[in-house]
Amino acid sequence: MWSPTPYRSVKEITAFLEKNPFRTESEIQEQVFGYYRNSSFFSNKKYADMLRRGLDKGVIKRIIWKRKSEGRALYRYYVPTKTN
């Protein structure tokens, strides 16, 4: 049976990151949307694209937390502070 999924937005991610800065993409998807990448049959494209839109708009930033291997890095996401 089909059931409508709730509307999701970048605002949900920014609200979460304001309270919980420096989270990985997987942590964001799990804690904000209840989506577990490793145990789901569905694609994470919807949530990954949402995170990228926040990056493009500048409301979310990311830093390289550590290098995993040659060419790969572990990123952590946060909401930049507003300065006047």
| pLDDT (tens digit per residue) in 38-61 | 787 778 788 889 999 999 999 999
From the number of C-beta atoms within 10 Å of its C-beta (0-12, 13-18, 19+), residue 44 rates as middle
Residue 33 lies in a domain: yes
User: Does the pLDDT value for residue 5 go beyond 70?
Assistant: no
Q: Give the CATH number for residue 50.
A: 1.10.10
Residue 84 lies in a domain: no
Stretch (H or E) spanning 57: helix 45-57
From the number of C-beta atoms within 10 Å of its C-beta (0-12, 13-18, 19+), residue 26 rates as middle
- Which residues constitute the domain of residue 41? 10-78
Largest Cα–Cα separation, the chain: 51
Residue 16 lies in a domain: yes
- Greater model confidence, 35 or 58: 58
Residue 3 lies in a domain: no
Residue 1 lies in a domain: no
